[in-house]
């Protein structure tokens, strides 16, 4: 009989500026995950995947997976490993866990991700980010620092498609207001369009609220099969219907689109995931996209087919990303307001999708039965997409 992967449970710690070690954050998130399904115990978990890119640099802890396994009380017998693809680490871990449980190599895999990015010397983490891209080529020219790169992207989109600063601000307003009632989000405040428009400039046209913050945090989820999941919970099953990961370049000079606002690799990843999941853009009821900057969400809603290419600004500005809109996006606050501890973000997205499709989300989307999550990594080089659904692929 075919084994179908599902996301069974999930939890995260409070994200933000934390006076805690990386391992503490993982422990808090693991407890929240087990609290989500009290019948599931650490002894039931046979596999562990840890997503973290800065564990060695900021927390001085390499070979992270065995350390996390022992500290959260699991004893892996099928897999115990770490993945490092920066912002896509959590999503990549879920993809790998799906393959492991569907192939029968593992039965219950914990996918955990987290970063401790705040350091006493604040400049350290920005200096370290120059290693997130090809250090010899882009890093030495400052392209590893995200705001300048995405400023150029925003300028390109404005030039080619006529998007406006007000439309970018609308993304920030929507996501901050989603996060205002999220107790584990980094930014728990409402935001008005006027506040967003008048915020201090970071790199024009991007202002403070157009940029996601540096974040300490961790998130944990459990991936297993549908049959095993039924032994632990009577909640509706949430299947991982299809996945895709596309990487067409690393160096920014080899960007695959016609210009920086043409995200060919995002579109390709979306199309591959849709095909694997046997769905179309019109089937997506809720999405969690990689809003590291407001312009990212504007372009992502285009490339995933929620609107026509070039119309992302109008789509977001007309509140189509809010509850009641065509496709509510980043309904827990996204990267802009929840924060972005790189390896944890894809897992946070998966947890929000779990809750949305089970009807227990804080900002519940009516009729949510198919959802999409997405991460980009590096200098907009790698794109990772997962499609979740209430039914398996048939």
Per residue in 210-248, pLDDT (tens digit) is 999 999 999 999 999 999 999 999 999 999 999 999 999
Known catalytic membership, residue 33:
no
Q: What is the DSSP letter of 64?
A: H
Q: How many Å apart are CA 51 and CA 61, to the nearest integer? A: 13
Matching fold, domains 5-121+215-229 and 145-209+241-388: yes
Q: What is residue 126's predicted lDDT score, i.e. its pLDDT?
A: 82
Three-state SS for 45-61 is: CCEEEEECCCHHHHCCC
Q: Which residue among the candidates 4, 157, 340, 374 is catalytic per the annotation?
A: 340
Architecture of the structural domain at 5-121+215-229: 3-Layer(aba) Sandwich (3.40)
What residues have CB less than 8 Å from 231, skipping those under 6 apart? none
Lay out the sheet containing 382-389: strands in order across. Answer: 79-83, 47-51, 109-115, 217-225, 5-12, 239-247, 382-389, 370-377, 286-288
Known catalytic membership, residue 80:
no
pLDDT along the chain (394 residues), means of 10: 96 97 98 98 98 91 96 98 97 98 98 94 82 85 83 97 98 98 98 98 97 97 98 98 97 93 98 98 98 98 98 98 98 98 98 98 98 95 97 95
Q: What is residue 41's predicted lDDT score, i.e. its pLDDT?
A: 98
User: Which CATH topology does 145-209+241-388 take?
Assistant: Peroxisomal Thiolase; Chain A, domain 1 (3.40.47)
Q: What is residue 143's predicted lDDT score, i.e. its pLDDT?
A: 75
DSSP 278-290: T--GGG--EEE--
Q: Which residue among the candidates 33, 58, 80, 87 is catalytic per the annotation?
A: 87
Enumerate the domain spans of the chain. Answer: 5-121+215-229, 145-209+241-388
Nearest to 313 by CA among 331, 286, 294: 294
Q: What is the DSSP letter of 182?
A: -
Q: Is the dihedral of CA 148, 303, 214, 173 positive or negative?
A: positive
Q: What is residue 346's predicted lDDT score, i.e. its pLDDT?
A: 98
Q: How many Å apart are CA 188 and CA 168, to the nearest integer? A: 20
Q: What is residue 146's predicted lDDT score, i.e. its pLDDT?
A: 87
């Amino acid at each position: 009989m075919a084994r179908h992967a599902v996301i069974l449970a999930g939890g995260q710690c409070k994200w933000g500026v934390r006076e805690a070690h990386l391992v503490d954050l993982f422990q808090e998130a693991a407890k929240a995950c087990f609290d989500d399904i009290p019948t599931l115990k650490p002894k039931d978990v046979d596999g562990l995947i840890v997503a973290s890119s800065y564990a060695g640099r900021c927390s001085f802890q390499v070979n992270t997976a065995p350390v996390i396994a022992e500290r959260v009380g699991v004893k892996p017998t099928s897999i115990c490993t770490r993945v490092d693809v920066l912002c896509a680490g959590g999503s990549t871990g879920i993809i790998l866990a799906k393959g492991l449980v569907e192939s029968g190599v593992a039965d219950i895999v914990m996918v955990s991700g987290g970063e401790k990015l705040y350091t006493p010397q604040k400049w350290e983490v920005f200096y370290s980010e120059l290693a997130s891209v090809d250090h010899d080529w882009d890093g030495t020219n400052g392209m590893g620092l995200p705001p300048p790169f995405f400023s150029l992207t925003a300028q390109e989109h404005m030039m080619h498609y006529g998007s406006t600063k007000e439309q970018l601000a609308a993304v920030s307003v929507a996501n901050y207001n989603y996060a205002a009632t999220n107790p584990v989000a980094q930014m728990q405040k409402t935001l008005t369009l006027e506040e967003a428009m008048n915020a201090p400039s970071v790199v024009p046209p991007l202002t403070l609220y157009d940029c996601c913050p540096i974040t300490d945090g961790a998130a944990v989820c459990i991936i297993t099969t549908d049959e095993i999941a039924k032994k632990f919970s009577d909640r509706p099953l949430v299947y991982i219907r299809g996945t895709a990961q596309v990487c067409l370049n690393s160096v920014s000079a080899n960007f695959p689109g016609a210009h920086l606002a043409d995200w060919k690799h995002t579109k390709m990843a979306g199309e591959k995931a849709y095909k694997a999941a046997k769905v179309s853009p019109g089937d997506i009821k809720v999405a969690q996209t990689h809003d590291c900057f407001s312009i990212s969400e504007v372009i992502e809603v285009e490339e995933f087919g929620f609107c026509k290419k070039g119309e992302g600004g109008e789509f977001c500005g007309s509140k189509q990303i809010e509850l009641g809109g065509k496709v509510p996006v980043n309904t827990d606050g996204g990267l802009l307001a929840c924060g972005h501890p790189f390896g944890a973000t894809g897992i946070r997205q998966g947890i929000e999708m779990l809750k949305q499709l089970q009807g227990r989300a804080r900002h519940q989307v009516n009729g949510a039965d198919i959802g999409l999550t997405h991460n980009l990594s590096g200098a907009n080089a790698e794109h990772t997409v997962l499609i979740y659904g209430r039914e398996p692929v048939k």
